[in-house]
């Protein structure tokens, strides 16, 4: 049982798709801060509609593209993975830790062991002009979606919403709404998105000579991916034969990948 005391449980179980939708909406607002209000209304509507109207697979591709490729965050792997149970809670800011390392905010957080409330205290004591120069570029008041937090080694670590959390702390707010992920009792797996395998495709296509050492490394890599990641078996078993193999122009390259797949996926019929 967790040792952390929470302020209020607002929703005991939350679908990760809902969290991913909120994340996308928040990021799109940050991308287009000066757009007219009707743009935001339509954007919210279509983001909420996306998982049902289009394929769920495409929705998760969008989440992976924004979180991992654009924002360089690892949210996709934990939201789509099977490791965590998610809840919505109102959490004391003093319980939150922010792993931010860059810039002025990173310097401040290092002095207080990355505790959000203590970082907020330092910001609050600054002259107003200096504090606003640090926080203002990151304030987006059009929406106030919950931050995303993971419980790691008995601490609540903010994974999305660092600046929203510090903004709240700097203005003396005692709590903030958060989606909290806690590891399930049964072992789960993180997710990996198809973009990684696209990179592998380019690597194979761009190599003039494919050595036995390369084949051995590729076989080992795909085997480990299949064991480690939730959706890797599906991607390796289906996506690579159907989408990657046809892109390879060289018959030699195709034969090599077919050979690798027969090792990684013994039942694969190519």
Quick one: pLDDT at residue 79?
Answer: 94
Burial class (CB in 10 A: 0-12, 13-18, 19+), 53: exposed
Burial class (CB in 10 A: 0-12, 13-18, 19+), 189: middle
Answer whether residue 14 shows pLDDT above 50.
Answer: yes
Quick one: pLDDT at residue 266?
Answer: 67
d(CA 86, CA 75): 13
Question: Which residue range forms the structural domain that includes residue 228?
Answer: 195-264
The separation between CA 206 and the C-alpha centre of its own chain, rounded to angstroms, equals 29
Q: Are residues 98 and 49 in the same domain?
A: yes
Quick one: pLDDT at residue 201?
Answer: 75
pLDDT tier at 234 (50, 70, 90 boundaries)? confident
Answer whether residue 270 shows pLDDT above 90.
Answer: no
Q: Does the model's pTM come out above 0.75? A: yes
d(CA 116, CA 109): 8
Q: Are residues 151 and 212 in the same domain?
A: no
Quick one: pLDDT at residue 6?
Answer: 53
Quick one: pLDDT at residue 131?
Answer: 82
With a CB cutoff of 8 Å and minimum separation 6, the contacts of 44 are 25
Answer whether residue 140 shows pLDDT above 70.
Answer: no
Q: Are residues 96 and 217 in the same domain?
A: no
Residue 270 resides in a domain: no
With a CB cutoff of 8 Å and minimum separation 6, the contacts of 192 are 77, 225, 228, 229, 230, 231, 232, 235
Q: Are residues 159 and 249 in the same domain?
A: no
Q: Are residues 168 and 203 in the same domain?
A: no
Percent of the chain with pLDDT over 70: 92
pLDDT tier at 137 (50, 70, 90 boundaries)? low
Structure tokens at 232: 């890797």
Q: Are residues 171 and 60 in the same domain?
A: yes
Average pLDDT over residues 129-154: 76
Whose tokens are 């419980």? That residue is 151
Answer whether residue 97 shows pLDDT above 80.
Answer: yes
The separation between CA 1 and the C-alpha centre of its own chain, rounded to angstroms, equals 26
Q: Are residues 168 and 208 in the same domain?
A: no
Residue 190 resides in a domain: no
Residues 48-73: pLDDT tens digits? Answer: 999 888 888 889 989 999 998 888 78
Paired sense of beta strands 84-92 and 8-11, if any: antiparallel
Total structural domains within the chain: 2
Q: What is the DSSP letter of 190?
A: -
Q: Are residues 111 and 206 in the same domain?
A: no
Answer whether residue 191 shows pLDDT above 60.
Answer: yes
Average pLDDT over residues 196-215: 79
Residues 253-269: pLDDT tens digits? Answer: 788 888 888 888 765 54
Quick one: pLDDT at residue 258?
Answer: 83
Looking at the chain, how many residues does it have?
Answer: 270
Quick one: pLDDT at residue 199?
Answer: 78
With a CB cutoff of 8 Å and minimum separation 6, the contacts of 252 are 210
Average pLDDT over residues 77-94: 93
pLDDT tier at 143 (50, 70, 90 boundaries)? low
Q: Are residues 59 and 80 in the same domain?
A: yes
Q: What is the DSSP letter of 137?
A: G
Q: Are residues 35 and 120 in the same domain?
A: yes
Answer whether residue 217 shows pLDDT above 70.
Answer: yes
User: Nearest CA to 115 among 183, 165, 181, 72?
Assistant: 165
Q: Are residues 48 and 86 in the same domain?
A: yes
d(CA 258, CA 270): 7
Identify the residue with better confidence: 187 or 222. 222
246 φ/ψ angles, rounded to the nearest 5 degrees: -65, -20
Paired sense of beta strands 96-98 and 8-11, if any: unpaired
């Amino acid at each position: 049982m967790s040792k952390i005391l929470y302020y209020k449980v607002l929703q005991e179980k939350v679908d990760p798709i809902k969290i991913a939708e909120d994340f996308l909406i928040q990021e799109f607002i940050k991308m287009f801060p000066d757009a007219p209000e009707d743009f935001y209304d339509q954007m919210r509507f279509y983001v909420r509609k996306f998982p049902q109207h289009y394929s769920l697979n495409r929705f998760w591709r969008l989440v992976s593209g924004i979180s991992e490729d654009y924002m360089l965050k690892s949210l996709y792997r934990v939201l789509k993975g099977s490791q965590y149970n998610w809840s919505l809670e109102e959490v004391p800011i003093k319980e939150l830790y922010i792993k931010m390392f860059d810039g002025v905010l990173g310097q401040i957080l290092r002095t207080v062991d990355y505790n959000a409330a203590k970082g907020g205290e330092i910001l609050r004591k600054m002259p107003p002009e200096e504090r606003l120069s640090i926080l203002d570029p990151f304030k987006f008041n059009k929406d106030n979606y919950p931050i995303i937090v993971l419980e790691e080694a008995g601490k609540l670590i903010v994974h999305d919403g660092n600046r929203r959390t510090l903004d709240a702390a700097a203005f003396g707010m005692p709590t903030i709404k958060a989606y909290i992920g806690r590891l399930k009792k049964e072992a789960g797996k993180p997710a990996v998105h198809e973009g990684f395998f696209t990179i592998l495709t380019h690597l194979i296509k761009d190599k003039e000579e494919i050595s036995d050492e390369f084949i051995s490394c590729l076989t080992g890599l795909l085997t480990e991916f299949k064991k480690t990641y939730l959706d890797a078996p599906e991607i390796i078993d289906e996506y690579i034969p159907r989408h990657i193999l046809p892109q390879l122009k060289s018959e030699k390259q195709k034969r090599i990948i077919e050979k690798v797949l027969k090792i990684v996926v013994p039942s694969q019929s190519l």
